[in-house]
Structure 1
Amino acid sequence: MGKGCFKCKYALIFIILLFAFISGLNYKQLNVTNNLAVKRISIVYSISKNEKGNGNFEELLYQEFRKLGIEVEFDRFYLDCNRLNAAEEIEHIRKYLELLNNKSVDIILTVGDQATYSLLSTRHKLLSSLPLIACNVNFPDEKLIGEYDLMKVYVLRDTPDLKRNMDFIQTLYPHTNLEIIYNIDMTILGHKSFDLLTRVADRRNVRILGYQKAFMQELEYERLKEMIEYFNLMPGLSNNGLKKDEFTICLCPFRYVKGASLLVMLERSRREQENQVFLLDKFDMMSIPIANALNIPSFSCIREGFGEKAKIVGGYMATNEISAKAVAGLALRLLNNEKVGMPKIRDLEKEYVLDWSYFSEYGEDINNVPKNVRIINYPYIDQYRGYFYLLGALFVVTFIFVLTSLLRTHRRSLIERKNLQMLEDAHKKLSLSMDGGQISLWNIQDDIIEFDDNYTHLVGLKQKRFTKEEILKLAHPEDMPLLRSFYETLHQVSGMKIQRVRFSFNGKPEEFQWFELRCNSLKDAEGKIMLAGIMQNIQEQVEREQQLILAKQIAEKAELKQSFLNNMSHEIRTPLNAIVGFTNLLLGEGAEEIDPEERASMVELVNHNNELLLKLVNDVLEISRLDSDNMSFAIEECDLTEIIKEIYMTYQRLIQPALNFHLEMDEATPIFVSIDRFRFMQVISNFLNNANKFTKDGEIVLGCQVDKEQQEVCVYVKDTGKGIDEKELMMIFDRFYKTDEFEQGSGLGLSICKVIIERLAGRIEVQSELGKGSRFAVILSLANVI
């Protein structure tokens, strides 16, 4: 229940934060809307009011201005260039500019070549005070625009890109016999557009549809011939025998040919060339219906008509979206009186677009469409057909998975019932085991310790819930710190914890009994950490352990005494045998006959064995004093540098002459440690004596190193002697142990050194390798910071 409330609380907080976020966005949008700057824009269209060609351009322009923080009001003017001649257009627009003098207009926007040319040709004084943006001008009159060089007049050029459009068409229709029909227009703009075509088209692939009798007027036919001669396309008039497997550009004068003749020409061409498309470089209201009637895919280099139900499939063009964004951005800078600079004529960006509703009518393959093409009117069922198939497959797989899961769940339910029955049986057996083993279960939650029902039989108390302090009062005074520490570490360290504690649950001090507490951490059903364990009476087990420990100690003492006597008898017997033997020879019969030199040698051997026997006795006495803590240590702060130098000077005369004896130490730096000077020198002397004894050639090094990080000093004796086997390194500090039984010595030296250094709060480290030598080191703590 608590977990569910916890989730509900966080869900409610999430909903409140989401509501606040949405409200903030709405407030921000409302605030921006209420504070938009209102601007009035005069739009001059080239076409008539009801004519197609601008689509949603004005709506997109309105949205772009709002994004820039401007609320626009449009004043519209339609030039109707298809009805008027050039002079009438100029006069018509001049009257409109006179009307604008009485209106509050912030900027003038012209759309198309005719509107731009006619407006600039008026040379009206209003153009010197108001900014002008000419949008989607295919072929701007640069000479006329140059007259407005000092005024805020800017042209967004939209020159048809015939080459990229033809390449785009060939990509969509990868046929070798593709025929592109191009409309010849003998107007000024038509000449300019046709000039562009001649620059990118291969003249060998061009043919011209039309013959003299098909034209409505002979004058138009003559003008066409002049146009062909000007662009050097005379072979095109007779180029009707092109192979069907060649790419063809078919020039067709839609506007000037009789309707019946035009249909006959196009139908004949269609029979000869099945794969035909129509390419627009201007929005011609005569050619589009004819292309649609012949069911030929239409492509366009300009934005007019695209997306306006004119059955234009697509093309490479400056779309309404691009044009609206470019106009809004430039207008904002002009309205803010920003310095726009040169050039006056700026090219619009273009993009590849495709109208799926018309492209799909001709049954073309979507795989031919490049990735960089933006597709409009693309239904979700077509756009994500593969995803729908995948979704269906996932549904089938999910259904199978769910059905399989249900079957597994049913099977698992049966197994769980069986396991539950087994668990109940195990619980009964566990209860019986706990009763027989005097075991009680307990757990800790919220600092309350609770025992199970078996606790009553185990200790004889009815109370089963205790606080921490109540439990501590029942523990033995000596065990209270251990129990308190045990309780605190339970919450900090994971894993099984075991502690032995004496409790007296009846309150009688003389009746404390040993109990073992075992504890581990686990999670309950709600995910909270809880501590649980068992408590077992181990009084009898502890008593048996104490008896075993006592018996072991007695046995070890007896064994130690026996080992000591055996070693002592062995070590004492060797020098005594030599002393008694040589003494009998010196004092017995025939002693006078012994050579003086031999007598002197015998006396020397007797004295040497006396010294060995004396050293053995001294070592045994020293070990005895160390074991009984009767050896006193005079701890004082000493300069280790001076001590080592003193030892070095002493042993320069004692080390074998055949060995090199070195000192490795910074003699100028004092090193202070708290030690017993005599005992420390005793240890280092023992190391040097052993090195001198077991090194036949090479060198012996006495050295000292300081570790400033660890605040320790290392005094070492390094030799190139015979070394010690790795297996024996752990035993060399045992009493009476010798690596070579035939070597002189009691085997107590290293054992005494180890005890002395431990009393000085240090440690001994040994590194050795057979045949290469040994390194014995004493590690001590520094008395001050160096």
Structure 2
Amino acid sequence: MNRRYCCLFVVLFWAVLIQAAATERTFNILFLQSYTAQTPWHSSLNQGLAKGFRESGIKVNITTEYLDADFWTFRSEKVIMRRFCERARERKTDLIVTASDEAFYTLFACGDSLPLQIPVVFFDIKYPDEKLIAAHPNVCGFIANPDFDVILRQAQKIFPLRKEVLCVIDNSFLSARGLNDFQEEWDIFQKDHPDYDMKIYNTQNHTTSHIIAAICYPRNSHGRLVIAPKWSPFLSFVGKNSKAPVFASQNVGLTNGVFCAYDSDAYTSALLAGQKASQVLKGTSPQEIGVTESKQGFIYDYKQLDFFYVDPDKVASSGIIVNEPYWEKYKFLFILLYPSILALLVVSVVWLMRVNRRESKRRIQAQTRLLVQNKLVEQRNEFDNIFHSIRDGVITYDTDLHIHFTNSSLLKMLHLPSEAGGRVYEGMMAGSIFNIYNEGQDILHKMLKQVASTGESVQIPQGSFMKEVHSDKYFPVSGEIVPIRSRGMITGMAFSARNISDEEMQKRFFDMAMDESSIYPWQFDVETNCFIFPQGFLTRLGYEESVTIISREDMERTVHPDDLKEVKLLFDRALTGEDTNTRLNFRQRNADGEYEWWEYRSSVITGLTQDSLYNILGVCQSIQRYKTAEQEMREARDKALQTDKLKSAFLANMSHEIRTPLNAIVGFSDLLSDTSGFTTEEVAQFIATINKNCGLLLALINDILDLSRIESGTMEFIFAEHNLPLLLKTVHDSQRLNMPPGVELLLRMPEGDKKYLQTDNVRLQQVVNNLINNAAKFTFSGSITFGYEEEEEPGYTRIFVEDTGVGISEEGIRHIFERFYKVDNFTQGAGLGLSICQTIVERLKGTISVTSEVGKGTRFTVRLPDYCE
């Protein structure tokens, strides 16, 4: 008897020692998840498994591998699983835990011997292979068989008016198993509810648009329910946009668009798996533990309940609710604890700010710099492109008179390389690449300091010259220097200038034309000692029409011998600067050998000093025809003034439109320099605002570039025969998701019509998109309808865009197609879109018109020929 007790004592003693050793030892665990780290419950699975081991007193090192079964084929999954097993063998793994069907079945199908050598604990298997499990004594775990009858009856209870059930599957093995189970349960359910209908959609057999139209369009989905036997990435997209409630048998679909999942709780399942694995590590045989069915229940997504107007209290008794906002979940607790928590937070924040202010500031700045660095680089490149597109030369300085940026127009004006970009001279002092002279004095630094100190713009004085530092060449210049402000402070100066050599000559020509009816202007090049005449004038003197330049000696050979002495004397006085304005009347020999009286007037342009000469300009005129010449010069003056006004209007409009989003970008970027006072949502909102304004700048740049191509005549048009209905459907598909809330985009075309137009499809789509975008700005409810109609006159087609927006007044309609005109100055845009549309339509040999009624809507009509000759 005593001997028996002694043996029993020894056995118990060794069992305690083994258990103690297992408790002290650290085990290596391989945790195989079927999906990715972006799955909603992957962190809950990791946490639950770790807690299961911890509560059981087992020390473990858990290595988690993600199979990503929704992405790979089964053959690829087996290759990936063998790699997992090889790495696990190197770590000397003691036990494997699998989550969901894919990881478990791929583990035993991959061909590696590791799952046959060490224990395997599985959980959340929907469709267990009993023969496979029975054949492996080292396997145990939990199963969670889906019950579609319970799901159908709960869906019928919550949505009694939705009586059409859509079953969405794919071609995978698990989806096929789920479909079989669902059909069996459906037969039972339909016997009790014969008024219900069911359709099956296969995502790999049906077209994507067909499934989306059935589920995501309100007109189709209002009476439907969606059942998903197996969740897939496609369902993640459809579920988030579905207008019908989605019921699934896998909790992986929660927060991805699933209204309700009938499944076991992920965290609890992983916790129980950890406890069961701990028993195996302590010495219990997996066969003794066996296979257990997990407890399942309904899990609802709070946001989906809110979307389908289902009262959470109505379903709370039948399951649990996830994704619930903290305020709703702990409303009464917040109300009770808010004052104390607020006081504690204030005290904590003050204390933390004092202790960690310097370190926190440095860390936040580094994080912010990493987040916005790429965005700032992109923004800087966009700003550079804007300034490079300006035709006038632009250069910016900081308040210390260091160069910051130069645009390509200025570099070309100064004959400097422009390929290196606008920042090659950044950091150099003002005056390093050019100087501004007036009356022999360099005035560049003086003007910059004046703008920096007064904060007011300064015009370059008349008669000023820009001198190139690298070549000593100079030319007359006009422009202004304006201050650059940020948050009320002057942070730099912007200098815009243009070479007015041609304008100065035109001005001198015009002044003389006002006095003496000019006919032919001329110029004397001091460096080459040659006269330059307009093409065609010298033909009257016997030269070929292409000749425009003759030397002074050739010019003197055409002068009558009796007049030559006086002409030479007066011209020499002009060259020496003694006479700045001269008038010469003399006879010249024409092509017929006869002498004709001409009058030459000259004007001398002085150089950097009063003693140096820059150029001599003049006009030669016939007394008999001075009236006609005067009229021609007036027209030349008006055209020059109109061109200058257009340039000024362009700069004024662009300065305003660029400054508005730029201020927002700079302002919110400054706020991001210290985010300690903002929440994560506020920081995200700041970044979103920056992105939005960058988009506005990009749209403005596109309009400017289109306008530039139109002005320069470089906008290309490629005419070919195109299917008009297909073109308009393409526009509809791209625009319908961009509509404002409460506005519906409709496409109206003749039924069964296959209309073809010979046109440029890219430019025509640009016109239609611009008209739809313009309508969306002023339509806050109702619809925007576009399409085409047959014109009464054969060979023509009408394309229309009409809305139910605010409408346009009669005054607005008169100016609607003018450049820079905006009906509402508070809307975004530069007022170029409709002007660009009108130009494109005219190039397409068509016309565009508008009709509108204030408060009722607007209709734009584009009339195009079917074939362009």
Same fold (TM over 0.5): no
**Which bracket does the TM-score occupy, shorter chain normalised?**
0.3 to 0.5
**How does the TM-score come out when normalised to structure 1?**
0.36
**How does the TM-score come out when normalised to structure 2?**
0.33
Highest Rg: 1 or 2?
1
